[in-house]
């Protein structure tokens, strides 16, 4: 007599959502304002503007750019704005911050672009283990986004989950 194995997880209707799928895989490049500072501390407007005009901005085409300053200098906000204005027609995405900050911004942006209606009345498992360390902010964002429409939210793997939310 042969036994028939039934995959109860596959038949449960559970949807697994892997946040690694939303994690940016693109290379993030930094535009460091420190290279434009006089004596490594002072941003001189006229020289800064001239230097920016002489950059070949085409090298940033279709790239993700973080505008940052890696020295302990006080940078006026308009300097970030001016660099962004040059990058706008070329770069794919521009923001202020280091690589981790830009990665988090993109991750949250991609989670925000999820259509929650795709998960209406579903039992959703947010995958918890993987090859990439997903920040807690992403788990918080996906929970907040899906809770109004899902039947339940769990954390972990379909075979071993931690219940987070269940509609009553």
* Residue boundaries of the structural domains of the chain: 8-23+114-166, 28-91
Residue 32 has pLDDT above 90, yes or no: yes
Give tens-digit pLDDT for 19-31.
999 999 999 999 9
CA gap 84, 78 in Å, rounded: 10
Is 66 buried (19+), middle (13-18) or exposed (0-12) by CB count in 10 A? Answer: buried
Give, to the nearest 10 degrees, the angle between helix 77-87 and helix 45-53.
Answer: 10
pTM, whole model, 2 decimals? Answer: 0.84
Residue 2 has pLDDT above 80, yes or no: no
Q: Are 73 and 40 in contact (CB under 8 A)?
A: yes
Q: Average pLDDT of the chain?
A: 92
Backbone angles phi, psi at 28, to 5 degrees: -105, 125
121 Cβ neighbours under 8 A, 6+ residues apart: 149, 150, 151
Residue of 108 and 11 predicted with greater confidence = 108
CA gap 12, 116 in Å, rounded: 20
Residue 107 has pLDDT above 60, yes or no: yes
| CA-CA-CA-CA torsion sign (128, 129, 130, 131) | positive
144 Cβ neighbours under 8 A, 6+ residues apart: none
What pLDDT, on a 0 to 100 scale, did the predictor assign at position 4?
58
CA–chain centroid gap for 15, Å, is 22
Note the residue count of the chain: 168
What pLDDT, on a 0 to 100 scale, did the predictor assign at position 43?
95
CA gap 35, 140 in Å, rounded: 37
Which run of H or E residues covers position 160? strand 160-166
């Amino acid at each position: 007599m042969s036994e028939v194995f039934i995959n109860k997880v596959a038949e449960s209707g559970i949807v697994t959502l892997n946040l690694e799928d939303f994690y940016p895989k693109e290379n993030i490049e930094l535009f460091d304002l420190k290279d434009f500072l006089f004596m490594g501390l002072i941003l001189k407007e006229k020289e800064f503007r001239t230097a920016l005009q002489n950059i070949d901005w085409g090298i940033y085409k279709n790239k993700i750019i973080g505008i940052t300053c890696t020295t302990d200098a006080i940078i006026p906000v308009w300097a970030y704005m001016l660099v962004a204005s040059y990058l706008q027609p070329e770069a794919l995405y521009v923001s202020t911050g280091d690589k981790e900050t830009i990665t988090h911004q993109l991750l949250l942006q991609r989670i925000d672009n999820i259509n929650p209606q795709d998960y209406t009345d579903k039992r959703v498992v947010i995958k918890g283990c993987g090859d990439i360390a997903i920040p807690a902010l992403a788990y918080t964002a996906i929970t907040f986004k899906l809770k109004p429409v899902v039947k339940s939210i769990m954390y972990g793997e379909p075979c071993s989950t931690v219940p987070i939310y269940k509609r009553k």
